[in-house]
Amino acid sequence: MTLHIDSLFIGGEWIPPTSSHRINVISASTEEHIGSVPEAREADVDAAVAAARGAFDDPSGWSQWSAGQRADALDSLADQLEARAEEMARRVSAQNGMPIAIARQLEAGFPVAVIRYYAGVVRTASFEESHPHLLGGTTTVRREPLGVVAAIAPWNFPQTLASFKYAPALAAGCTVVLKPSPETVLDAALFAEAVAASSVPAGVINIVPGGREVGAYLIAHPHIDKVAFTGSTAAGRQIAETCGRLLRPVTLELGGKSAAIVLDDAELDLATIGEKLFGATLLNNGQTCFLGTRILAPRSRYHEVVGVFEALASSLTVGDALDEATQIGPMASERQRERVEGYIAKGLGDGARLVTGGHRPAALDTGWFVEPTVFADVDNSHAIAQEEIFGPVLSVIPYTDVDDAIAIANATDYGLGGTVWTADHDRGMDVARRVRTGTIGINTYLPDPSSPFGGVKDSGIGRELGPDALTNFQAVKSIYA
């Protein structure tokens, strides 16, 4: 079925676009044309920002609603998304190649949890507190909504990563212009339908599908008060430069090259840990920012660890993302597959040993598939150990002792995720404390909507999720009396 959408969701209505340019969507699994939407141009972005501005500035509008009213509206949006969960999962999966079972759990399920979480947070949050002025009198501290938010999402988890932005922004009383990635615009249209059917008022969420030019125009727009971005480190740097020049608050969730540190006492039976290991190293076809794609293995169990990852990678079912049995789907785009194959060639060129994979699956000649791939004998200085591949390619790196493992884990420009695999929780905690990263798991990895998520170093600035993310969208005002 092909889905053609003719209008843009701006100001609570479906309005005709100002140009005839369209974004065509190709299925990652079948390479078939599965739909198109209008591409937003500058005039459409102007209209979207004006709608968000109007909704924000309205004296009886969203920013002035009580926190309880906003929480109710957020819950109604969650209800509307839940009612569309299966269709949402299928649209994401068809577009970017995410296996359907994962899309159901993460793209349909996770945003609902995030929205309901922030509805709960604002129901009990305090937005105004008074205390004695240190030098006499009283000071009242108010947490006011920051204004109009430009939210920019990537294609790998388009719904989830958008919700990390709009849910706390709306909860705080901000209004939003969301720019989805051109690879994933059909799910954004379904999201717009959910917004329209919810009690979130007109103009509070507006959507401008487009590429990086549209994104660059949006973040620099004079009526934007805050930028929330997830994407590559390269784009993040450009956005940071713009926001620096404009003195515009920005949060950046960028790339990663995390370590999965296998300690010498780790349980390595795939029947026991296989599912968790998969989630932490290969989730979403390797197209996940937090994955531990550098596997650090103790020399004492090196061959065993290589064998475990060889067995894991070669056991996975590769196929059409919409097939229920699929564990590894295609890369999201042809360009992305070329990039992954380029890194596989670099790994071979640098002398790493290919243990399994490395090719296109013989049985799949349509779709942008790459076999789950494991390299052993990788040096941490190799390009495949230092650069974000964003595909199902793992590098096993030997280490001598725990200090050596931590030194290797930290010898990267990134610091987003990571895991420690051990039978001893306290040992795992010790290692987790010493890794320079924003998040890390022990024998598991799954972001928690109620706790901060984000990176250090080149992985970004600021944190999303958790109660503190509300402050990303608030201006704090002190009133002395």
Return the amino acid letter for 431: V
Sequence-ordered alpha helix ranges (H) in 316-376: 334-349
Binding flag, residue 110, ligand NAD (CB under 6 A): no
Of 81, 219, 340, 352, the one binding ligand NAD (CB under 6 A) is 219
CA 17 to chain centre: 28
In this structure, the number of other CB atoms found within 10 A of the CB of residue 410 comes to: 15
Encoding tokens for residue 152?
Answer: 């920019």
Binding flag, residue 239, ligand NAD (CB under 6 A): yes
Rounded CA separation 389/414 (Å): 13
Q: How far is the CB of 300 from ligand NAD (least distance, A)?
A: 32
Of 71, 169, 178, 289, the one binding ligand NAD (CB under 6 A) is 289
- Report the residue number, 305 or 389, with the smaller CB distance to ligand NAD: 389
Q: How far is the CB of 30 from ligand NAD (least distance, A)?
A: 21
Q: With CB under 6 A as the contact rule, which of the stretches 69-77, 154-162, 315-323, 375-383 interacts with ligand NAD?
A: 154-162
Beta-bridged to residue 103, according to DSSP, are none
Rounded CA separation 251/273 (Å): 34
Binding flag, residue 386, ligand NAD (CB under 6 A): no
Q: What is the DSSP letter of 352?
A: P
Q: How far is the CB of 439 from ligand NAD (least distance, A)?
A: 10
Binding flag, residue 416, ligand NAD (CB under 6 A): yes
Binding flag, residue 107, ligand NAD (CB under 6 A): no
Binding flag, residue 73, ligand NAD (CB under 6 A): no
Select which of 39, 107, 193, 253 is catalytic: 253
Q: How far is the CB of 56 from ligand NAD (least distance, A)?
A: 21
Q: Are 339 and 389 in contact (CB under 8 A)?
A: yes
Q: Which residue in 92, 106, 102 sits closest to 28, CA to CA?
A: 92
- Contacts of 186 by beta carbon, 8 Å cutoff, 6+ apart: 3, 5, 25, 34, 35, 37, 91, 94, 95
| Residue listed under structure tokens 């290692």 | 431
Binding flag, residue 356, ligand NAD (CB under 6 A): no
Binding flag, residue 390, ligand NAD (CB under 6 A): yes
Binding flag, residue 238, ligand NAD (CB under 6 A): yes
- Would residue 253 show up in a list of annotated catalytic residues for this protein? yes
Binding flag, residue 215, ligand NAD (CB under 6 A): yes
Q: What is the DSSP letter of 109?
A: I
Binding flag, residue 181, ligand NAD (CB under 6 A): yes
Q: With CB under 6 A as the contact rule, which of the stretches 79-87, 92-100, 147-155, 322-330 interacts with ligand NAD?
A: 147-155
Crossing angle of helices 158-172 and 186-197, in 10° steps, is: 30
Return the amino acid letter for 71: A
User: Mind telling me the catalytic residues?
Assistant: 253
Please report, as ranges, the residues that interact with ligand NAD according to CB under 6 A: 152-157, 161, 179, 181, 211-212, 215-216, 219, 230-232, 235, 238-239, 253-256, 289, 388, 390, 416, 455, 459-460
